[in-house]
Chains A and B, each alone.
Chain A
Amino acid sequence: MTGILALAALVAALGTLQVLLSAVVVAVMLPLIRPWLEAAALAGRTRLLALLSGLPLLSGVVLVTACLWPSLSQGLGLSGDHCLVHIDHALHLCLAHLPSTAPPLSAAIAVAVGLIMTACASWRAATLLCSGRDEAHVLAAISHQRGEIRWIESRFPLALTVGLLRPRIYVSSGLERGLDDAELDAAIAHERCHSRERHALLKLLATVSGTFHLPRVQRELGSLLDLACERRADECAAIHVDDRVRVASALVRAHRLVAAQPSTTLAFADGSLSRVDLRVRALLMEPATSRRHWWPLGAAVASLALATIGNHELHHAAEHLLALLV
């Protein structure tokens, strides 16, 4: 039992160190790659930002799996006893040759940090899922279906997409009254894009996996992803109504309706250009001819291939590193 616990602690410590290292690398690199991110094609940008949010967690999982692979493949009968290759190692990341000593204090601290981060991410996921479920029930209870849209009798100018796997589009009578037909069509096309591309699910995954980033990076990535999703939906709406200015006009009109509502919410005032300003100005420009960048996908595939091919080397390096910590 001690051996299993010690191995679990070492593996968890290894994963935690990788997560922390990746989080620091992303924090350092983000200001440098931000201009490039903002120039990437919108459809790819949303996925790229979500991937970046989950990078520390993903890299931790990949590293741990790669390091344990020689032992796992032995357990599955795919290979022989790998520990015989490096019998001189003081420590083995192996299910067959479990450590005989209790985990060191440094590993225990790393495990504790990892557990705290995992608990925070799980709590965040549970809270978001519960509140999302409640919001969906609230909106379903006060709306009625007409075609593909659920309509809400309310003076609030609303066009919302709610739901993760089967999103529903909600539009309020306040928005219907406040926009002309073409503008309303643009607003609904905007929501259809959110629904089709599962933006709420993407944002949820990014938010939860983003817990493993530094707080400043979490906020920055969240804000970039939010804006990218909105701009992507604006572009879809512009293609649908075949009029970019019409979408911009609908957006400004909807915000006029919002401004006319009694203040129930607080405005975000961070001194930067507001998102509606950025969205409208982007719509008034010619559609960007951003190239589709394939290298992030290539880099991800190459990393996975390297982790697969080089799992023995990673396994050795991890054993050396952990031996130093011990």
Chain B
Amino acid sequence: MSNPTGSTLFKNRLTVGFFGGHNPLEMGLVVGQLETAVMEHLWRHGASSAKDVHRALGDRRGIKLNTIQSTMDRLFRKRMLQREKVSHAYVYTHAVSREELSTRVIGEVLETLAGGETGVMLTAFANLAEREGDEALVQLEELIAKKRRGGTT
């Protein structure tokens, strides 16, 4: 397996957007709709060539083999895929798991939310920008335990 060296993928911040690359969040990695579909295919079916992916996605969506090839090459350059030459064709596998990608993307989204007022656009059960100290949480847990025992707060 080969990996491109010096890629800026993980040096950059991550985001996923469907608007051709420009994103006001300015978070670097852009995963388009087709790129997401390709990643989905590889996560589900494992190692695949561009032809395999084209058979699964391209025919249904009316996308040419060339487009699939260039999309997979782009994902490889972004270090999201690994590839190996088998005979005359490359066989690709994912280099990033779904959970790893989600975690990185979410980390970036949360960082953005914590840094500005965009947090008004969502509501969260537990605010990741609000970290409680251990002492405060222990105190709250004691209050809850006391309440369960039938005491008052």
Contact = CB atoms under 8 A, between A and B. Distances in A.
Contact of B16 (A138, A154, A222, A248): A138
A277 B122 contact: no
Contacts of B148: 245
Given A152-B102, A245-B147, A252-B140, A275 B130 contact: yes
Contact of A233 (B23, B123, B137, B140): B123
Contacts of B134: 259
B123 A274 contact: no
A131 B99 contact: no
Interface in B96-149: 98-99, 101-103, 105-107, 109-114, 116-118, 120-134, 136-137, 140-141, 143-144, 147-148
Nearest to B43: A153
B132 A276 contact: yes
Interface residues of A, number: 70
A310 B104 CA distance: 59
Given A137-B16, A173-B99, A258 B111 contact: no
Contacts of B118: 127-128, 131-132, 135
Interface in A191-218: 191, 194, 199-200, 203-204, 206-207
Interface size class of B (residues with CB under 8 A): 35 or more
Given A137-B17, A245-B147, A259 B137 contact: yes
Contacts of B109: 135, 138-139
B147 to A, nearest CB: 5
Interface of A: 127-128, 130-132, 134-135, 137-139, 141-143, 152-162, 164, 172-173, 175, 187, 190-191, 194, 199-200, 203-204, 206-207, 222, 226, 229-230, 233, 245, 248-252, 254-259, 261, 263-268, 274-277, 280-281, 284-285
Given A159-B126, A256-B137, A280-B144, 11 more contacts: A128-B121, A130-B24, A131-B24, A142-B101, A157-B128, A159-B125, A160-B122, A258-B130, A258-B131, A264-B107, A284-B144
Which 5 pairs show the lowest CB-CB distances between chains A and B?
A132-B121, A254-B126, A159-B125, A265-B114, A154-B102
29 contacts: A128-B121, A130-B24, A132-B118, A132-B121, A132-B122, A137-B17, A142-B98, A152-B102, A156-B103, A156-B106, A156-B110, A157-B128, A159-B125, A206-B120, A230-B123, A250-B125, A256-B137, A258-B131, A263-B131, A265-B128, A267-B130, A276-B127, A276-B130, A276-B132, A276-B136, A277-B136, A281-B143, A281-B153, A284-B144
